[in-house]
Amino acid sequence: MTRKRIIEVVVIVLAFAVAVFAATRILERVVAPAAPAAGSAPAAATTPAVPHVVATVFYGTEDGQGLASVKREVPLEQSPRAQGRQILDAELDTPPAPYLPVIPKGTMLRAFYITDRGDAFVDLSPEIATAHPGGSTNELLTVYAIVNAVTANLSSVQRVQILIDGKQADTLAGHVDLRRPFERDTSLVRETK
Amino acid sequence: MLVLASLPQAQGTAPATPLTLLTRDARRPIATTVLNGQEFIGLDEVASIFQVMVREDAVAHGVSITYKGRTVVASTEQPMASVNGRVVTLPAPVARAGSRLLVPIDFLTRALAPVYDQPIDFRRASRLLIVGAFRIPHVVARIDAPGPPTRVTVEVTPALAVSPAVDGARVLLRVDADALDMVPPPPTSGLVDQIRVGDQTTTVAIALNARAGMPRISTTVAADATRVTIDVPLAAPQETQVPQPALPAAPTPPASPAPPALPGPGEGAALQTMVIDPGHGGDDNGVRGAKGTLEKQITLDVATKLKTLIETRMGVRVVMTRSDDRTVAPDERDAIANNSKADLFLSLHVNGAPAASVTGAQVYYLRLDRAGEEARKSAAASELVLPTINGGTRPIDVIPWDLAQAEHIEASSRFATILQQELQKHAPMAAKPLQQEPMRVLSGVNMPAALVEMAYLTNAGQEQDVQSADFQNGIAQAMYDAVARFRDTGFPKP
């Protein structure tokens, strides 16, 4: 009785194992056509079909006294407005070594638009002011990094006004007057790469 | 074709200075050719710049140039062109050099301009070919007296706003224009080494030589021109060492019995009230050093020391924008200064940079942007006429509140330069010790004004320094000396 019981259990376990094996094989066949493609996917991901364009962005120089103009690839867009957003996203990124960040961490681009008169408005999240370390030098670097990133790449833009959280602001941290738009000024730019 | 084939084949030479094309989108040199003393431009170049169609016209014995359906025919035989049925004269007929057709430069202004959508202007002296509406004043610089003192006059026609500034050993005159049509300046003499258009094409740069002292700059605006007069004296013995520390001190002449620059009777009376503005305060800490030193505390400490020095030694009334730890908005600071009828404004700050290695003091004065200059001019043009109590009227100049500083830039530049010279005797200076930037707190004060960044709190050594009494006293003494010198030598005469 006990022996018969054992045989029954072994048969059931074997039957279950065969069933699982069969099910796995069937599933493998269903999934199989996708497998080779998945293998080559990483290579495809590094060279996406989206066309890119080389933009100039401005990061702090290693000596902390100026701005370096740095070439970065950004996705190509159809309109200056959309292109401006891509360029500013690159500008707000943490810069690669040895460049120093001049934009406070956490600053996001809320909006970007260009008027018919060639005035661009760069609307930034409040971190640009609340997380700003202060000091005239820091403030000038922040302001002109943004202004130059827009004017160096978009020929239709003559002047750039910085807004904070959708509103006109006095200063970032008490020094540089943000109430009026800025023209391109490369006097802080130290090197070109 | 037959006509053109019979044209004289000319071998031209390039002009000494290339022509510069200035349009809304570009500023670039363009090639021209000199033939028999006349300057010509290739019609292929004309076609690409002005988007015109060029066709050889054997029947008309000329070349037809078409722009938006309007046609100009330039003769290959006579020095003339037909424009909308009218004949205009030219210095020379169409010429040929190799395979290229050439027209005299004046063809552009005399024949093409009448059919073109935008103004075309050729400035012979500055070699500018201008396409579009720009403000490009005629600028003539001359040395009236080699001196010393050396007197330089710069005349800008028509009368546009000119902002002078002293940048080290240079005087920079920034003209509110799109470009300058500057006549090549005369050979320099006296204490002036060079006069030229600056790196920014709307600036006239006047380089002074090592023996030059602090220049005095005055600007007069007439109906037709703005005239800037710059008087450059010989440097006082102590000044030759200060701006040029690398120079040996030897060439200074033996001190003549000239009296020291003490204020004469009546002089110095113009400085009666001064405002000291300790930066930040209250909720606004300013820069925080790695060891926790707060900018707002250092600015208040030094401001208090400076106030005591000026009040006790100079007898000048000092108003502080804050004398304790409180938040004061920029407009409120400006209002305190303007309502005190102060004669001088000094804002104190401690700096911050992205790298800990940056050190040194810096002095700032206000830079007006183009919009600011335009607002200033339109304000100056729109004076308000108010009725007076006796039934008459009184004109009042209306200057926007936030541009009050515009009238004082010249004096502020002198004050800032003196501050820089005095500070460097007491403290390390930054790589660019004197800067002109759009500083918020300076824009609304209706008096000469400057801002001093005393040191960098982001540098560990300087964070320690700024807390020491020695450093604070030295900085306060330097600023006191600068205020005294400005009162005695640089203050605008009432």
User: Which pLDDT band holds residue B385 (cuts at 50, 70, 90)?
Assistant: low
| Farthest CA pair distance, chain B | 93
* Nearest beta carbon to residue A137 from set B288, B353, B370: B353
- The H or E element that residue A70 is part of is strand A67-75
Give pLDDT, residue A48.
54
- Residue A177 is classified by DSSP as -
- The H or E element that residue B460 is part of is helix B460-467
Q: Give the N- to C-terminal CA distance of chain A in Å, as an integer.
A: 87
The structural domain count of chain B equals 3
User: Which pLDDT band holds residue B463 (cuts at 50, 70, 90)?
Assistant: very high
User: Which pLDDT band holds residue B201 (cuts at 50, 70, 90)?
Assistant: confident
- Chain A residues whose CB is inside 8 A of the B402 CB are 179
Q: Tell me, yes or no, whether A28 and A76 share the same domain.
A: no
User: What's the length of chain A?
Assistant: 193
- Starting from the edge strand earliest in sequence, which strands make up the sheet with A52-60, in order? A52-60, A67-75, A189-192
Is B352 near chain A, with CB under 8 Å?
yes
Q: Is residue B425 part of a domain?
A: yes
* pLDDT value at B261 more than 60: no
Q: Tell me, yes or no, whether A27 and A58 share the same domain.
A: no
- Residue B46 is classified by DSSP as H
- Residue A103 is classified by DSSP as S
**Contacts by B319-325, CB closer than 8 A, 24 or more apart:** B319/B273, B319/B274, B319/B275, B319/B276, B320/B275, B320/B276, B320/B277, B320/B278, B321/B275, B321/B276, B321/B277, B321/B278, B322/B278, B322/B281, B324/B281, B324/B300, B325/B281, B325/B282, B325/B296, B325/B297, B325/B300
* Nearest beta carbon to residue B355 from set A100, A176, A180: A100
Q: Is residue B259 part of a domain?
A: no
CATH number (domain holding residue B6): 3.30.457.10
Question: What residues contact residue A69 under an 8 Å CB cut-off, 6+ apart?
Answer: A56, A57, A58, A148, A152, A189, A191, A192, A193
> How many other β-carbons are positioned within 10 Å of the β-carbon of residue B373?
19
Question: What residues contact residue A36 under an 8 Å CB cut-off, 6+ apart?
Answer: none
Q: Tell me, yes or no, whether B329 and B449 share the same domain.
A: yes
* pLDDT value at A140 more than 80: yes
Please give, rounded to a whole number of angstroms, the shortest distance from the CA of B351 to a CA of chain A. 4
Could you read off the pLDDT of A147-165 as tens digits, one per residue?
999 999 999 999 999 999 9
Nearest-by-CA chain A residue for B350: A135
Could you read off the pLDDT of B8-64 as tens digits, one per residue?
555 678 887 888 888 877 788 888 888 888 899 999 989 988 889 898 877 767 888
Q: Tell me, yes or no, whether A31 and A90 share the same domain.
A: no
How far, in Å, CA of B145 to CA of B157, rounded? 22
Please give, rounded to a whole number of angstroms, the shortest distance from the CA of B384 to a CA of chain A. 25
- Chain A residues whose CB is inside 8 A of the B443 CB are 177
Q: Is residue B350 part of a domain?
A: yes
Query: Could B349 and A173 be called an inter-chain contact, meaning their C-beta atoms sit closer than 8 Å?
Result: no
Q: Contact B314/B483 with Cβ under 8 angstroms?
A: yes
Nearest-by-CA chain A residue for B432: A65
The model carries a pTM of 0.56
| Farthest CA pair distance, chain A | 97
Please give, rounded to a whole number of angstroms, the shortest distance from the CA of B433 to a CA of chain A. 12
Interface test with A, best of B201, B287, B295 (most A CBs within 10 A): B287
Q: Tell me, yes or no, whether B75 and B185 share the same domain.
A: no
Give pLDDT, residue B260.
36
* Nearest beta carbon to residue B357 from set A64, A140, A182: A64
Give pLDDT, residue A28.
46
Q: Of A86-100, A134-148, B202-216, where does mean pLDDT reach its minimum?
A: B202-216
Q: Contact A66/A188 with Cβ under 8 angstroms?
A: yes
> How many other β-carbons are positioned within 10 Å of the β-carbon of residue B186?
11
* pLDDT value at B421 more than 90: yes
The residue written with tokens 């003769």 in the block is B75
The residue written with tokens 């606004």 in the block is B284
Q: Tell me, yes or no, whether B363 and B295 share the same domain.
A: yes
Q: Contact B212/B156 with Cβ under 8 angstroms?
A: no
Q: Is residue B255 part of a domain?
A: no
Could you read off the pLDDT of B149-174 as tens digits, one per residue?
888 889 888 888 888 888 778 888 98
Give pLDDT, residue B241.
39
How far, in Å, CA of B285 to CA of A132, rounded? 12
Nearest-by-CA chain A residue for B286: A134
Q: Tell me, yes or no, whether B353 and B482 share the same domain.
A: yes
Q: Give the structural domain span for A133.
A: 52-192
Give pLDDT, residue B35.
86
Q: Tell me, yes or no, whether B108 and B19 share the same domain.
A: yes
Q: In a 3-state reduction of DSSP, which class is residue A57? A: strand
| End position of a domain, from candidates B101, B131, B161 | B131
Q: Tell me, yes or no, whether A57 and A41 share the same domain.
A: no
Q: Contact B41/B103 with Cβ under 8 angstroms?
A: yes
Q: Is residue B474 part of a domain?
A: yes
Nearest to A135, CA basis, from B454, B491, B87, B140: B454
How far, in Å, CA of B218 to CA of B410, rounded? 8
Question: Position B185: which residue type?
Answer: P
Size of interface A-B (CB pairs under 8 A): 108
Measured CB to CB, residues of chain A less than 8 Å from chain B are 60, 62-65, 100-102, 133-138, 140-141, 155, 159, 170-171, 173-183
The residue written with tokens 């200075």 in the block is B17
Q: Tell me, yes or no, whether B305 and B214 share the same domain.
A: no
Q: Tell me, yes or no, whether A116 and A188 share the same domain.
A: yes
Query: Could A175 and B458 be called an inter-chain contact, meaning their C-beta atoms sit closer than 8 Å?
Result: no
Token couple for A105: 């961490």
> How many other β-carbons are positioned within 10 Å of the β-carbon of residue B54?
17
* Nearest beta carbon to residue B440 from set A63, A100, A171: A171
Q: Tell me, yes or no, whether A38 and A70 share the same domain.
A: no
Q: Tell me, yes or no, whether A156 and A174 share the same domain.
A: yes
Token couple for B454: 């005393």
| Mean pLDDT, rounded, of chain B | 83
How far, in Å, CA of A87 to CA of A115, rounded? 18
Q: Is residue B260 part of a domain?
A: no
Give pLDDT, residue A5.
77
Nearest-by-CA chain A residue for B330: A174
Please give, rounded to a whole number of angstroms, the shortest distance from the CA of B442 to a CA of chain A. 9
* pLDDT value at A2 more than 80: no
Give pLDDT, residue B11.
67
Q: Give the N- to C-terminal CA distance of chain B in Å, as an integer.
A: 74
| End position of a domain, from candidates B131, B160, B181 | B131
Q: Tell me, yes or no, whether A77 and A32 share the same domain.
A: no
Q: Of A136-140, B285-289, B368-372, where does mean pLDDT reach its minimum?
A: B368-372
* pLDDT value at B341 more than 80: yes
How far, in Å, CA of B375 to CA of B198, rounded? 25
Interface test with B, best of A170, A180, A186 (most B CBs within 10 A): A180
Q: Tell me, yes or no, whether A7 and A75 share the same domain.
A: no
Average pLDDT over residues B384-404: 65
Give pLDDT, residue A34.
39
Q: Tell me, yes or no, whether A38 and A57 share the same domain.
A: no
Residue B209 vs residue B451, higher pLDDT: B451
Give pLDDT, residue B179.
80
Q: Contact A66/A102 with Cβ under 8 angstroms?
A: no
Phi, psi of B493 (to 5 degrees): -70, 140
Distances in whole angstroms, Cα of residue B361 to Cα of each of A177, B204, B347: 21, 28, 13
Phi, psi of B322 (to 5 degrees): -155, 145
- The H or E element that residue B436 is part of is strand B429-437
Give pLDDT, residue A45.
43
As beta bridge partners, residue B35 has: B38
Q: Give the structural domain span for B302.
A: 273-488
Q: Is residue B252 part of a domain?
A: no
Please give, rounded to a whole number of angstroms, the shortest distance from the CA of B491 to a CA of chain A. 26
* pLDDT value at B398 more than 70: no
Sign of the C-alpha dihedral computed for residues B162, B379, B437 and A193 taken in this order: negative
Give pLDDT, residue B372.
63
Could you read off the pLDDT of B92-102 as tens digits, one per residue?
899 888 778 89
Give pLDDT, residue A61.
96
Residue B370 vs residue A178, higher pLDDT: A178
Nearest to B107, CA basis, from B63, B58, B56, B68: B63
Q: Tell me, yes or no, whether A166 and A183 share the same domain.
A: yes
Residue B325 vs residue B126, higher pLDDT: B325
Peptide bond into B254 cis (omega under 30): no
CATH number (domain holding residue B473): 3.40.630.40
Could you read off the pLDDT of B221-240 as tens digits, one per residue?
777 788 898 888 887 754 33
Query: Could B440 and A138 be called an inter-chain contact, meaning their C-beta atoms sit closer than 8 Å?
Result: no
A179: left (phi over 0), alpha (psi -120 to 50) or beta: alpha
Query: Could A174 and B372 be called an inter-chain contact, meaning their C-beta atoms sit closer than 8 Å?
Result: no
C-alpha of B248 from chain center: 31
Q: Tell me, yes or no, whether B41 and B189 share the same domain.
A: no
| End position of a domain, from candidates B73, B104, B131 | B131
Q: Tell me, yes or no, whether B66 and B205 share the same domain.
A: no
Give pLDDT, residue A29.
43
Q: Tell me, yes or no, whether B123 and B149 share the same domain.
A: no
Q: Tell me, yes or no, whether B145 and B122 share the same domain.
A: no
Query: Could B358 and A64 be called an inter-chain contact, meaning their C-beta atoms sit closer than 8 Å?
Result: yes
Q: DSSP string covering B63-89, please?
A: EEEEETTEEEEEESSSSEEEETTEEEE
Question: Position B150: which residue type?
Answer: T
Nearest-by-CA chain A residue for B328: A174
Could you read off the pLDDT of B130-145 as tens digits, one per residue?
888 888 888 888 888 8
Q: Is residue B327 part of a domain?
A: yes
CATH number (domain holding residue B162): 2.60.40.3500
Q: Of B299-313, B358-372, B408-422, where does mean pLDDT reach its minimum?
A: B358-372
C-alpha of B52 from chain center: 38
As beta bridge partners, residue B164 has: B173
Q: Tell me, yes or no, whether A20 and A109 share the same domain.
A: no
How far, in Å, CA of B219 to CA of B428, rounded? 34
Q: Is the ipTM of this complex over 0.85?
A: no
Give pLDDT, residue B329.
94
Query: Could B355 and A182 be called an inter-chain contact, meaning their C-beta atoms sit closer than 8 Å?
Result: no
Q: Tell me, yes or no, whether B117 and B142 share the same domain.
A: no
Average pLDDT over residues B308-333: 92
Give pLDDT, residue B386.
64
User: Which pLDDT band holds residue A21 (cuts at 50, 70, 90)?
Assistant: low
Q: In a 3-state reduction of DSSP, which class is residue B452? A: strand
Q: Tell me, yes or no, whether B164 and B295 share the same domain.
A: no
As beta bridge partners, residue B172 has: B165, B205
The structural domain count of chain A equals 2
- Chain A residues whose CB is inside 8 A of the B284 CB are 174
Nearest to B230, CA basis, from B202, B269, B201, B204: B204
Average pLDDT over residues A73-87: 95
Q: Of B18-22, B126-130, B220-224, B301-305, where does mean pLDDT reach its minimum?
A: B220-224
Average pLDDT over residues B353-367: 96
Distances in whole angstroms, Cα of residue B322 to Cα of each of A107, B314, B328, B333, B475: 32, 21, 7, 8, 19
* pLDDT value at B6 more than 50: no
